[in-house]
Amino acid sequence: MLAPWHEFYVLLGTAAAALVALLFVAASIGAGLIDPARSTATRTYMSPIIFHYTCVLFVSLMVLVPDMTERRLAVIVALVALAGFGFSVAVLIGVAHSASSDIADRFGYGAGPLAAYVAALIAAGFLWAHATAGPNILAGALVLLLLINIRNAWDLTITFARRRTGGPPQG
């Protein structure tokens, strides 16, 4: 069932890996701007991006394992989705209590990833049942997670740039 998706997951995993690498570059550039007063806020916004990109990369790699069955993949996707859901709930609570967050941050760091992980959990159920909807829903969930985190990485990069130029910090 997943064989036709090979190139899609190669591309998706490559994109996630490249974006993680670029995020490390951005973090290195912005490292001088992280002081003890801002370290908690920076961790609140950077950790989810790394986590979600890693989940996209990990699931993409698992799909590409040559002898991966739909049932094994369903279990892996379900575990990742449950971990991601729990992590996203914690992040959403943290972002909601942050004085610098706005509605875009609450969606980008909390509600959007929550929706993606719910979709991934649904996909896991379909994969377990060998239903043809499973691969489509999983692909949609992972693309949603990737796109949301492109937005989040851009938001974080702009925040670092504003701090470097002395502009107002924005979460």
Is residue 170 assigned to a domain?
no
The structure tokens listed for 13 are 């995993």
pLDDT in tens, 128-152: 999 999 999 999 999 999 999 999 8
Range of the domain at 69: 3-165
Is residue 109 assigned to a domain?
yes
- 164, pLDDT greater than 70: no
Split at pLDDT 50, 70, 90, the class of 169 is: low
- 67, pLDDT greater than 60: yes
- 154, pLDDT greater than 90: no
As for how many domains the chain has, the answer is 1
Question: Which pTM does this prediction carry?
Answer: 0.85
- 26, pLDDT greater than 90: no
Structure-token match 């499973």, residue found: 134
Is residue 121 assigned to a domain?
yes
Rounded distance between C-alpha atoms, residue 35 and residue 144, angstroms: 32
Is residue 115 assigned to a domain?
yes
Rounded distance between C-alpha atoms, residue 71 and residue 48, angstroms: 28
Is residue 124 assigned to a domain?
yes
